[in-house]
Amino acid sequence: MENILPILIADAPGALTELCGVNLLERLLRILQRLGFRSAIVFSTTPEIIGAELAKRSWARRQIIVHFGSGTIGPFTPQLILEQSPIERFLITPANIYCDARLLAALCAKDSSAALVDSNPPEFARSLIRNPCGPALIAKDFLSAFSSTVPFCQQLKERIDNRKIDILDAAAADDYIVSMRRRVRPVCFPAPAEQNRRLAERIILDSAQNGTLDLPAYFHAPIETGIISLLCKTRITPNQITIAGFIIGCGATAAFVVGRLGLGILAALIFGIVDGLDGKQSRVKIETTEHGKWEHRLDYLIENSWWAAIAFHLWRSGQFPNAFYFLALLIGSHLLDEFAKRRAKMATGRLLDDIAPFDRAFRLIAARRNVYVWMLAGGFLLGAFPQSYAIICGWAAVTATVHLLRSVWICNVLGRRVVGSQV
């Protein structure tokens, strides 16, 4: 991104329209930072209002330096752009839009000037989308053909209408997100009218939901989304949610160690919901950080502390003398399962849980923390808690075996295809 300069056209009140707790200008700046940009220029016909907004401290965009362009009061013309920097390419976008980060990244990856359009808006967002969408990648040599006095946006629209600039079509963009195990249609739309604000926020909230879930997570998902629809409008950060989850998770471990099984299961069930909130909060508000990647390792540490604490309690109380052997089976199965999943991802570029219909169906009941907790809760209510612990350990082994066989089969099939294509 070093050879591209972002230029935002930010006029109040549109650029300050707030969706899910973040105004559109702030959201764009956060996206640009996460795309690798470290500086941007803002033009505005309302510099006092926009300047006051940019002066506010924001940890989520602290790595990007924002400057006001010269001549901010007059119309936004090509001459103003050319005066700003020796950079050869500009990412020019109105700041009164919501735009999926993938679309901006795709624009930046173009070799020539290009503008974003959506030739086939999805039904769920059709009432929001306007064409052209607004963002455009403009090379300096392409810009030199523009009139220096006619407003830039007017000339750009004429070239889009006459197909004198390359088009990036949002409808043709790859909508599959590997890390989320689902397809999320990227969209770009201007600040919505008041009657469409809830629809716009619903689109943003839905885009933060992971796909291909286990069965308990299907019950968690609407609860998490409802909570995030409120939390996103507060100053609570994803890291603060992670810390709260850590405290709850440690509380579950302590309860299991001292034999308060009911309390431990309740804390584990609550943790299952809280654990999904930090990721959703960070995606909805564009507050992802490099430290957030460690959250999954922290979760893994917490949940394994549960299984060890339960094994310790069952062994100490004499209810299940062989508990530690089953704990070893559980941990060994998890390691084997991770190996199988990593092998499949290296071969296909997708997570094993979402490669084929069988994998998606098996994910519903496959051995995972949420499934374990539900099994343990059932065993506790039926007065068969030690037996339920043995079952989750055995189910971990079954799941690892299934995933290993699937991984071997997938890799062999892909290998035969490669060999066949070379013959």
pLDDT digit string (tens) for 184-211? 999 999 999 999 999 999 999 999 999 9
Within 10 angstroms of residue 284's Cβ, the number of other Cβ atoms is 26
225-252 mean pLDDT:
95
Q: Does 423 have pLDDT greater than 50?
A: no
* CATH class for the region spanning 4-190: alpha beta
**Exposed e or buried b for every residue in 221-257, given b needs 16+ CB within 10 A?**
beebbebbbebbeeebbbbebbeebbebbebbbebbb
Structural domain 214-421, CATH architecture? Up-down Bundle (1.20)
- Other CB atoms within 10 Å distance of the CB of residue 13: 11
Are the C-beta atoms of 39 and 125 separated by less than 8 Å? no
**Of 422, 130, 416, 372, which is closest to residue 264 (Cα–Cα)?**
372
Kindly tell me the burial class for residue 65, based on how many C-beta atoms sit within 10 Å of its own C-beta (0-12, 13-18, 19 or more): exposed
The average confidence (pLDDT) of the chain is 92
The count of other CB atoms within 10 Å of the CB of residue 73 is 9
Q: Which segments within 17-155 are labelled E, that is strand?
A: 18-19, 22-23, 39-43, 65-68, 89-94, 97-99, 114-117, 136-139
Report the pLDDT averaged over residues 82-103. 90
| Type of residue found at 411 | C
Residues of the chain within CATH 1.20.120.1760 domain(s) are 214-421
Place of tokens 């936004």: 76
Domain with CATH 3.90.550.10 in the chain: 4-190
Q: What is the pLDDT of residue 55?
A: 92
Each residue's pLDDT tens digit, 302-331: 999 999 999 999 999 999 999 999 999 999
- Looking only at the bridges linking them, the beta strands covering 65-68 and 39-43 are parallel
Residue 220: what pLDDT? 94
Band of residue 295 on the pLDDT scale cut at 50, 70, 90: confident
- State yes or no: cis peptide before 238, omega within 30 of 0: no
Token output for 133 = 């969408």
Q: Are residues 37 and 6 in contact, defined by beta-carbon separation less than 8 angstroms?
A: yes
